[in-house]
Amino acid sequence: MHALEAELQARRPGQRFLPRPFDVRRESEVFAAVAEMMRAFGGIDLLVTSAGVGIMDFLDRLDPAEGIVGQIETNLTGTILLTRAVLPRMIERRAGTILLVGSLAGLVAMPTYSIYAATKFGLVGFAEALRREVGIWGIHVALFLPGTVDTTLAAASIARRRTGLRTPRPLVLSAAQVGEAIADLAERPRAVLLLPRRMRPVIWLVRRLRLPFDWIVERFFVRRERADEMGATRSVAAGGRPSERP
């Protein structure tokens, strides 16, 4: 944290920074962090929620504690708790911006993304309802939905794919692009910002051609990823012994 503070001071001389780590899953830590910010700065003008984890796998393979509960608590519950902690201060001032960082997985859910997508779909609904709740107080709610970003999030999960499928490089956002988009959205809040923009027609097509898309995903991804297990299941059904997975 000291290194981060020094870096920020070097980039913005004369401004005050107060980096503090806390666990968004723990309500006591969330409220303590917000209280500390209030004491230090007297108010909160902007909240950006971006804490998240990505553990992608088929549901029956996910660890219940980390893969299911942990993802939901971090990606969705943590965001809600943090927003709830900040909101009364913004209502008092009749001003503020809440910027929620979601994902395109909140619009289209893919295999192995069941829990991750559930948290992001939940975030879309949360943002929509919250925006309509707090507008009367002069508070803006903006939702940012980026596609794949060039970070280590979910890298281990994706590396295990048998098919080797990856997001095409032209569709991968850099961390700098995401940072610039968030800064722009903070200055000019709007309901939803989706990036990369070229994904908009893709999402439109997927939603309207659900059955063909489902077939393609099953044929070229799911069946290939689970080929060993499907073979073992057929062997057992035929009275043989299941083959061992590598």
3-state secondary structure 135-167: HHHCEEEEEEEECCECCCCCHHHHHCCCCCCCC
Are the C-beta atoms of residues 52 and 153 closer than 8 Å to each other? Answer: yes
Give residue 22's region: left, alpha or beta (phi > 0; psi -120 to 50): beta
Which of 81, 134, 137, 75 has its CA nearest to residue 106?
75
In this prediction, residue 167 carries a pLDDT of 81
pLDDT digits (tens, 9 = 90+) for 172-201: 999 999 999 999 999 999 999 999 999 999
Helix, strand, coil share of the chain (percent; to 5): 60, 10, 30
Told to judge if 116 belongs to the known catalytic residues of this protein, a careful annotator would answer: yes
List 192's β-bridge partners, or say none: 143
Terminal C-alpha separation, the chain: 42
CA pair distance 114, 103, nearest whole angstrom: 13
Superfamily of domain 41-208: NAD(P)-binding Rossmann-like Domain (3.40.50.720)
In this prediction, residue 243 carries a pLDDT of 46
- The overall average pLDDT reported for the chain is 90
List 100's β-bridge partners, or say none: 49, 143
Name the pLDDT band for 240 (thresholds 50, 70, 90): low
In this prediction, residue 232 carries a pLDDT of 63
Query: What are the two backbone dihedrals, phi and then psi, of residue 145, each rounded to the nearest 5 degrees?
Result: -120, 90
Give residue 226's region: left, alpha or beta (phi > 0; psi -120 to 50): alpha
3-state secondary structure at position 246: coil
List 64's β-bridge partners, or say none: none
pLDDT digits (tens, 9 = 90+) for 114-137: 999 999 999 999 999 999 999 999
CA pair distance 242, 233, nearest whole angstrom: 7
Whether the pLDDT of residue 143 is over 60: the answer is: yes
Q: Does residue 168 have a cis bond before it (omega within 30 degrees)?
A: no
Q: Where are the domains of the chain?
A: 41-208
What's the token pair of residue 67? 């893969």
Burial-class residue 21 by CB neighbours within 10 Å (0-12, 13-18, 19+): exposed
Name the pLDDT band for 241 (thresholds 50, 70, 90): low
In this prediction, residue 230 carries a pLDDT of 80
Are the C-beta atoms of residues 209 and 203 closer than 8 Å to each other? Answer: no
Whether the pLDDT of residue 163 is over 90: the answer is: no
Catalytic residue chosen out of the listed positions 116, 121, 126, 144: 116
Q: Which residues contact 68 (CB under 8 A, 6 or more apart)?
A: 62, 115
Whether the pLDDT of residue 161 is over 80: the answer is: no
Mean pLDDT to the nearest integer, 196-221: 93
Name the pLDDT band for 233 (thresholds 50, 70, 90): low
Length of the chain in residues, anyone?
Answer: 246
